[in-house]
Amino acid sequence: MTGKRRSEAITIEDSEDELAVSQPELSLKRPRRTLDEATSARELLTPSTPQSTRPGRQRQSTTSPSSALQDVDFLSESEVPERDVEPAKVIRREFAGVALSGPAYPRSAYHGWQTPSEPMLEALAITKLRTAFASKYAEVQEDEKPDYTFFRLDDFSIYRGDKSNNHDGELVSLHLLSRDFYGEFLFDGTLSVGDEKFYVQGVPFRILSVDGYGEVESTDLGSQLCIQSRIGGKGQQDIWYQLGRPAQEYKRFYQPFLWLARFTKHFVDYLLEHEKVSLMHFHGLFLEWLRDQYDEETTFREWLAIAGLEDFRGLVAANVGYLRKECYGVDPGKLLRHPLWGEVNPHRLAAIPEQPNLEPKTVVTPYAYECFSAMYFGDQLAKREVSTAVLRRVIKRKQRLRLTPRHIAQHESNAICSLLTPASMARDSPEPPLDVSAGDVVCVHPDLSTKWGADGSPWFVYVQQVRAHGDRTLLDVLWLYEPKDTTMGKAYYPFKNELFMSDNCSCGREALDLECAIEKLDVSWFPQDPYAEKGLFVRQKFRTIHQEDTYDFVALHNDDFVCKCEDRVPIFEECRSKYAIGDTVLVREWSSDRGEDRLQPAQIVHFDTAKRRIQLRRLDRRSEIEPESNAPPNELVLSPELYDKSCDKIIRKCHVRFFGDERDVVAPYDRGGLGDFYYIGFDEPETTISNTLPLPDESGELVYDAHDSLLPRINQGWHPKTQPRKGKLKGMGIFCGGGTFDRGLEEGGSVDFHYAVDWAEHALHSHRANVLKPETVKYFLGSVDDCLANAMKGNKNVAGPGQVELISAGSPCPGFSRLQMDQLSDKSRRNASMVASVVAYVDFYVPEYFVLENVVSMTSGMGRDKTENVFSQIIAALVGLGYQVQQFLMDAWSYGSSQQRSRVFIVASAPGLPPLNQPQHSHGHPPNAFQGRALGKSSNGLSFGIRKNCFAPFEHITPKQACSDLPNIDDAQVQLCLTFPDHRTAINEPAANRTRMAVVPTRPHGMGLMQAKLKGLLRGEPSEHCDQVGRVRSLPTSTMYARVYPKYLFPTIVTRLTVGDGINGRCLHWEQPRALTVMEARRAQGYLDHEVLIGTAVQQLSIVGNSVDRKVALMLGLLLRESWMGVDTAAAAGHDALDDRADFADLEDEDSGQDEEQDYAGFNAEEEMGESQSPAAGSSGNHQEVSRATDVEDMNIDNRSAKIALQLSAEEIEEVKRDHFRAIGRILDARAQ
């Protein structure tokens, strides 16, 4: 061994033990196992001997997994003997019921193991081997002699010492050796020089050395890894042990470490040769450098192929502790100066400067304070005024977007009942009858027999038409709702005199008699400033189409004053107007594999006007016609087969695009059919395909139909890499965490995030690590309260009004989570109060769009008496600002995710923008597992935000499918996975927990420790543990140490896995004896494999658990794109359109200086909104829409009211209650036959 550059000292100053856990230590007395028994059981997880043969070391007895199993072959009632049974029989019995992991302890820990020779004290072995070493190099030239003395170490095992937090004596990988993680390990093995060999045992060491750093041409680390023991480093000895062949039980630890050691050498060499290396260098530049240096070496290509990585950022982040230790030992002055460490070192993150935390309470605007101050968390709010200069920009922006332009403190609007004359409220019918004309608003007596009429308040209607019917005068009307009649319910609403147009009509046979009218009222339509209105006014429409589950607020338009009852169009004509020849659609078809209908892509070829049917071209799924191809489920193959369908089988449009290379497939086409996006692989260049009419099949032949007519080409779907029709929105993420919400919305194609706010440094640095150009995003590492307070003061270091066009918010859920033990504690109420901060951000920044995510339990009653509904109050606050407001209940599994996660999303959009379409399910519910759920009930008693049970193109994604390519890591003790660096458990469970996990049967699926106990399958410590747990964990339904159902769904991923919990303990792998890994949690949450998480494994899991499901985020991003970009058939076909968005930059000149202050001096909000700008309260018939937004396109919104009359039997009603839309479809199909 020559004097090459090497790393020796372990001097990391800031680090923590990410694997340490505080679990009760297990102390049991069990019979010792013989050597043959332990060996035949593949060296069990835990040693059975109470005292090792190692001098001076004591070990407590623990129970092995196999000895804890009773009747492990599930066939015999006899107990497994421990001494008098032949090893061969033990092997068969052990493997019949459970797969055993590799040993977790060295062989020396097992009673009866025979050492290769009598163990020798290390000091004596050194003396003898030093003599042999001197003899070996006695005749070697002086310049060829090694710089230090070294002995070869073979058949070695490396393990922890006695003080290792419930992990005493366990085998351990060398990459965890560090002063602050684990400062000292022990080894057993054979030291040798030539033929002189001595076996040593329990030798402590603290130093690991790797030679060859800085020598790029040196790549063979087989002889360059050395360790130094305490004795070997004493005085002037400088004796090293060169690592050779590991013991059999240690191979699974040492082989991946060798790969990591070589990567570390390349990592150090790269840092030595380059300046200002950042994490992004390892996205591609590092691999280019490696190939330039070593691509001709076979050993390099073999080494690279083992992990199969091209992006090494995740590997760097997961092993930053070891990498930094090695850099410190080589040249800390140079290597630790790179900006990389500030990006990935979890103990000294510095890429984003931390902001001071100055605000003790939740900072809100005056408007948000007015809306939320009376709630149970009102004492946590701090009202702040906006500076005069900034306020002017806020008001200007609200005027341009047709929002409520200002806030007047202590504004008292008139209650609707106070606007009625006492006489009209008292009389039963008008005398004489009112003179009512079309366009009038009148109030009528309530129907006291209904829920709506319970309080006796008058009802309001808009008169569409007055017509004579015999001797009666009838009124065709649209109903107007008070705020309390909407989803706002009992929430505080600042405008008591506001009414909402609805799509609920009484016309035709349901028309009202004129005698029902009590009083005619004056109403102001489309007011600019609600605060200036003294009488009734209407500016929004509350959609109440139950079949479409809308129950939302949209801007009022001129065509909303006439109901759509007479606009019914035959379904064939509706299809012709909605679809074009060449469009691709989803067709409802029977699936024999699934035993029910599913949606299948097809191309529209012809509209058969004679038969009133649609001719379609079949698009086959490649995974079904070529099962061996392992093709994605949404890859299609062109087919010449034509067939026709009735129009009611055409469900909706889908998007199909051609890609010439699988590597060119981009989001959303690479997400397994999410959002109804499919692709067809094609060898020809895409330009040739798009310009070819008709489209050839895969063989290049032109395709004809039965009439020898050429088939039309496919109207291809949106390509994300094309220039968008409009400029993208500028986004801000608050409570953004690791950034999955923001990245998912970005992938939808309508927004780029320029600002991110969060105070969790590991999460925000993870957000930054996944941005290709981090300099394009401004990060605020601090409280959202400090950020907003600075913005309200006009601080130019944070975003101001006009710089943000979309806000995404994943506000803290602990305040509303059912897992919260005390929802009225100060901490919980502070968390809950953050929803007021979210509304304050919207009030201040005035974005075009706003998207909020939170747990569904937020829609439940809160406060001391459970009567305060935070969800309704958010809706009321946003509607009061003038936004169109929608809400969605979104189940992650319905969009291709594999976890059981449901969340509520509130979406607000400025008037004039199309509201978002309802998110459509691409994946079905798990079989026989559908459970109805809703966000709440409207005032008519019908649920809104309901979970739909509709047909979908794909079956749900199971955990087993989502993780099928992840390698088997057995008991996860190695904690080092090369191909997937985050495929490691967040907590390295102690021996007692590992034993309990190992004895949980893998069949039937979903078994837990308590279920195994109740079936009589346990004995020993696991059985005794079940006898000692509390009531919840002892229930038959307990999830304590329970396995995930591989064919169902992952449980909701949370921030910390607790395997021993009786309610949330279902986090064991379905086959392997361990808890779920960070990588499996990432897969469940929809993280992409290349995305980076910064922090220890515990911190990474916390980031994942707090994230918004990525696939749900992408689904919302696609819906946002449809709204903002105004996607239509022409755009989908590839035609460009001009960007009709006006410049929204409301910022004043940055250099206006003193002149700006003079302009703003004496500014008064009420003077700015003078009477000349306020509409007069005129006749209710004068409903001309005024004050159009100058910077957004006015698009008509189809609010067609779907009236369906079905005479259902009692059995059919029960069927509809159970299966919802599926049942309705079956009933309609049956009656159509």
Q: Which residues pair with 197 in a beta bridge?
A: 192
DSSP labels, 114-149: PPSS----HHHHHHHHHHHHHHHTTTS-GGGS-SSE
User: What is the DSSP code (8-state) at residue 69?
Assistant: B
Task: Characterise 229 by phi-psi region: left (phi > 0), alpha (psi -120 to 50), beta (else).
Answer: beta
Distance CA 759, CA 786 (A): 10
CA angle 257, 262, 267 (to 5 degrees): 115
Q: Buried b vs exposed e over 1146-1177: b needs ≥16 C-beta within 10 Å?
A: bebeeeeeeeeeeebeeeebeeebeeeebbeb
Torsion 793-798-802-808 (CA) sign: negative
Distance CA 926, CA 955 (A): 7
> Among residues 1161, 1160, 1132, which one has the least CA distance to residue 1148?
1160
As given in the structure block, the two tokens for residue 703 are 């395709």
> Among residues 1118, 941, 982, which one has the least CA distance to residue 318?
982
> Among residues 347, 324, 323, 342, which one has the least CA distance to residue 1095?
347
Alpha-carbon dihedral 1119, 1124, 1128, 1134, rounded to 10 degrees: -100
Contact 1212, 1223 (CB under 8 A): yes
Can you count the helices (H) and strands (E) in the chain?
Answer: 36, 37
Say how many Å lie between the first and final Cα of the chain, rounded: 87
DSSP labels, 1054-1083: -SS--TT-TTT-EEE-SSSSSBPBHHHHHH
- SS3 readout for 653-667: ECEEEEECCHHHCCC
Alpha-carbon dihedral 876, 880, 881, 884, rounded to 10 degrees: 70
Contact 922, 953 (CB under 8 A): yes
> Active site includes 813?
yes
> Among residues 480, 474, 546, which one has the least CA distance to residue 507?
474
In terms of DSSP H, where are the helices of 476-626?
571-578, 622-625
Residues 226, 507, 813, 1026: which is the catalytic one? 813
Distance CA 680, CA 638 (A): 8
Distance CA 384, CA 790 (A): 11
Distances in Å between the alpha carbon of 661 and those of 383, 666, 1129, 1195?
Answer: 56, 11, 26, 38
**Residue 694: cis peptide before it, omega within 30 degrees of 0:** yes
Distance CA 325, CA 327 (A): 5
In 983-1074 the beta strands, taken as DSSP E runs, fall at 1042-1043, 1066-1068
Contact 92, 76 (CB under 8 A): no
Distances in Å between the alpha carbon of 666 and those of 602, 653, 772?
Answer: 22, 20, 16
Distance CA 657, CA 670 (A): 11
Q: Which residues pair with 1004 in a beta bridge?
A: none
Distance CA 96, CA 620 (A): 43
Contact 196, 132 (CB under 8 A): yes
- Active-site residues, by number, are 813
